Amino acid sequence: MSPRTSENKPRQASQFGARRFDAPTPELDGKTILVTGGTGSFGKAFVRHVLSHHRPRKVIVFSRDEFRQYEMAQTIGTEPGPAIRYFIGDVRDGDRLEFAMRDVDHVIHAAALKHVPTAEYNPFECIQTNIHGAENVVKAAIRTGVTRVVALSTDKAANPINLYGASKLASDKIFVAANSLAGRSPTRFSVVRYGNVLGSRGSVIPFFEKLIADGATALPITDPRMTRFWITLSQGVRFVLSSLAMTSGGEIFVPRIPSMKMVDVASALAPNLKHDIIGIRPGEKLHEMMIGEDDGRTTLALDDRYVIEPAFSYWTRESAAKYGGRPVESGFCYASDSNDEWLGAEALRTLLKEPRT
């Protein structure tokens, strides 16, 4: 597919913020939900949303950083009352995970080592958290009888060229295969894969904003051709919840979201600043892909998402019939440079007004 540019993009996603990923809605009233990596940007937004829109029996924040748990308790904290619990633990510790998952109905697995250069320079740590951690989540969930597990993935897991992406691809494979390994356990596993989260901790937008606030005269751009997928925190939370409601076990859910060139992101934030081209960092791609051509053979298209069906024998077409989706065309791939939906500067500035966590 030929790359899109800001000059030949087919459709401006000026109304992208209206896409809510709301339906279907999972039944969470009276349920206990555990969120690994629960003090991260996604975890905090997810917990806020669940406590505001549902009446769970309990939400368990599972993470290894006591200070971030303390900070989260000050902002979300005692107001929800007995519905929230903070649990110190690491996904590397299978016994601790199993202890935390007792009487849990659903698990959202958001814990990961996510920074591409960090993973390149610290490969053992990346593998311990992203791969062995996924294995520990699967084993603990099966042993404790958790009903549903949704694991968060990344666009970098499709056709990976860096260790972070490769480790998340391995994690995706573990969670899909876990449906075959569960035996008579009721536990079902699925994956949600999406792109960069606007304004999340560690993303490029807060980095640019800090440079602008500090009086920078230029913004660093790795390559003027670079494109990325974008989604907001609130959209990510709703997409995960709707995927939780839809899953039969084994799917990889991919939202239909817009792309934007990195030079356009920088220009939208600071129209009068020049750009310094600094070169691509270790492990970076020019463009991201969420569905490769090979996965396209088992992909269904829905109005707001794609569903990559598992290739295992347990999966039947009847399992997917409830989606109402249609197979994608031959040769289909879903990449940030050949996307048919693009984010404009005004739409980006509007989306950045959403609350950040």
Catalytic site residues?
156
d(C-alpha 266, C-alpha 243), whole Å: 32
Q: Among residues 178, 198, 155, 148, which one has the least CA distance to residue 306?
A: 155
Distance CA 220, CA 211 (A): 10
- Whether the CB-CB separation of 39 and 63 falls below 8 Å is answered with yes
345 CB-contact burial (10 Å; exposed 0-12 / middle 13-18 / buried 19+):
middle
DSSP 8-state secondary structure symbol assigned to residue 281: P
* Residue 75 CA: distances (Å) to CA of 39, 71, 80, 119: 12, 7, 11, 31
Q: What is the dihedral of CA 44, 54, 142, 183, to 10 degrees?
A: -140
Tokens found for residue 265: 């992101």
Instruction: Give the residue from 25, 42, 35, 308 showing the smallest Cα distance to 146.
Output: 35
